[in-house]
Amino acid sequence: MLEKFDNNYEVCNCLKVTIDDIKNAVFNDNVKSLRDLQEKTHAGTECRHCLMIEGDFGKVKKNVYCKDILGELIDG
């Protein structure tokens, strides 16, 4: 799934967190969960729409969510 997106794609628009920021957190900072990711990057700590599809109450839906990115990077 991630191959469809540029590494500079903003997953969290509120705090400008990109796919590359999330990759760095997983590979360099041992991030293993959404909570870890929020603590490290602050992604999903404002409106929370970027965390998972179930929590996206925005009018315009996200194209990719933190939960899905973590799943792909960690589980493979």
Per-residue pLDDT at 76 exceeds 80: no
- Total length of the chain: 76
Place of tokens 């799934």: 1
Q: pLDDT tens across 18-50, in order?
A: 999 999 999 999 999 999 999 999 999 999 999
Cβ proximity of 9 and 41 under 8 Å? no
Residue type, 44: G
Q: What is the pLDDT of residue 61?
A: 92
Strand, coil or helix: 18? strand
Q: Where are the alpha helices (DSSP H) in 1-76?
A: 19-29, 34-41, 66-75
Strand, coil or helix: 10? strand
Per-residue pLDDT at 12 exceeds 90: yes
Per-residue pLDDT at 53 exceeds 90: yes
